[in-house]
Amino acid sequence: MSYGTSSKVKYSPELKRKAAALLELRRRKPAPAGAQAGGGAGGYAPQSPSPAQAAFLALDAREALYGGAAGGGKSSALLMAALQHVHVPGYAALLLRRTYADLSLPGALMDRAADWLRGTDARWNAQTKTWHFPSGATLTFGYLESDNDRYRYQGSELQFVGFDEVTQFTETQYTYLASRLRRPEGMPVPLRLRAASNPGGVGHQWVYERFVAQPTDDRPYIPARLEDNPHLDHASYRESLSLLDSVTRAQLLDGDWTVTRGLLFQRQWFRVVEQAPADVQWVRYWDLAASTKTSADFTACAAVALHEGTLYVRDMIRGRWEWPDQRRVIVQTMQSEPRTRHGIEEALHGLAAVQELRRVPEIAGMALRGIKPEKDKISRALPWSQRAADGKVALVRGPWVSAFLDEVCLFDGQGRTHDDQVDTVSGGVAMVARGGSSAVGAFG
């Protein structure tokens, strides 16, 4: 099978045959009693799938990605896929967006499902955000705003999980939900993990590497362009997209996965190791944020050390906390790591934080100082960007690594994405450089 960003996508003969058969079945098959006539997903979709959507619906693979350019019918394709087996008793499908606000936007997944299913024999439960079908099948809508939200689905038994705008999710969230796919013995439905997305976003790199860079029959990618969606006014949508900056325009109009905002880091530069060398001097640089709002920056703190020319990053403490919780986390960390040197960025309330922490008896005498950030974010990141390019930045394996790599590979220094993890490592590198003459030489 051949894939690309071109609108002239080449599908395998077998997939073409399946897609054509599916389109013909949709044309001939009468809608189930109580469903929409002419539906594209078991009779419950009021539109028939486009050829690209039909190719997506015909896939046998456990995982698949649909998308590329904006306007290619991604959300509809995902909703059609979720509805394909709602005639099977006990079938359970889950459709996800990153936040509840994304999920409930006009025209988004939940709103579109209501347009399709309202007036059919499906019944909506507003409390659980679930559509119930006469067969006993269910279609539920959910979100994963934080990594911990995935545990809401810990006990779920699902046959379909769909991620809308999957590049907004972390790889950890994606793979955890993949583990929820299971079915009772003899249930006549495939287990499917489906995703749809434009390029860009915090998860761009892992999605690109998993599906687009080297697609396989096990993880196929179905590219879709604006021209693949017959239900959209192409001219007016193109005019809207023309107002975007060149990077976003290439991603959304052309479905180009190779153009990104990141300037300084590439995922393949970083080594993941099982542990750092013993007896190194660790430093921690605390980059404090000031809000717990879901759109706010994070408080972040990396443990950083230099050993024989390699920069080691051991872990990442990260969360949205107000000062009382920040204080508690810092004190607990300092108590558990008495030999680590700590620095706190003096921006925002950082200077006041240092002054208050110095009066805490439990950490009296431990190495702690305020640090004024120098230069701009890009200049501060350059020393360890070059070291990463030389293969001399090692990350100690842990659940934090995937989200860290997602962030640093999108970093452009312009504040368009979260950069707190980049800032804390940059601060830690500066602390190492100032800690001794050999370290200054190593980074200077």
What separation in angstroms does the CA of 225 have from each of 86, 91, 305?
A: 28, 31, 46
146: in domain? yes
Is the domain of 131 the same as that of 48?
A: yes
Phi/psi zone of residue 21: left (φ > 0), alpha (ψ -120 to 50 degrees), beta? alpha
Phi, psi of 296 (to 5 degrees): -80, 165
Cα–Cα distance, 360 to 327 (Å, whole number): 10
| The pLDDT value given to residue 423 | 94
**Residue 307 DSSP symbol:** E
Mean pLDDT (whole number) for 98-113 = 90
Cα–Cα distance, 332 to 341 (Å, whole number): 14
Is the domain of 38 the same as that of 177?
A: yes
| The pLDDT value given to residue 443 | 41
Candidates 99, 121, 52; CA nearest to 80 is 52
Give per-residue pLDDT as tens, 187-245. 999 999 999 998 877 788 889 889 988 888 899 998 887 666 665 565 665 666 566 65
Please determine, for residue 6, whether its predicted confidence score (pLDDT) is greater than 50: no
Give per-residue pLDDT as tens, 127-147. 999 999 999 999 999 999 888
| The pLDDT value given to residue 36 | 47
Is the domain of 282 the same as that of 164?
A: no
Phi/psi zone of residue 257: left (φ > 0), alpha (ψ -120 to 50 degrees), beta? alpha
4: in domain? no
Please determine, for residue 114, whether its predicted confidence score (pLDDT) is greater than 80: yes
Mean pLDDT (whole number) for 58-74 = 84
Phi, psi of 421 (to 5 degrees): -70, -35
Cα–Cα distance, 203 to 425 (Å, whole number): 20
Is the domain of 165 the same as that of 95?
A: yes
Domain coverage including residue 437 = 267-443
Task: Name the helix (H) or strand (E) containing 395.
Answer: strand 393-396
Q: Decide: 369 and 358 in contact? Cβ < 8 Å.
A: no
pTM of the model: 0.60
Is the domain of 174 the same as that of 231?
A: yes
The count of domains in the chain is 2
Is the domain of 246 the same as that of 287?
A: no
Give per-residue pLDDT as tens, 256-314. 677 665 557 888 899 999 999 998 999 999 999 876 665 568 999 999 999 999 999 99
99: in domain? yes
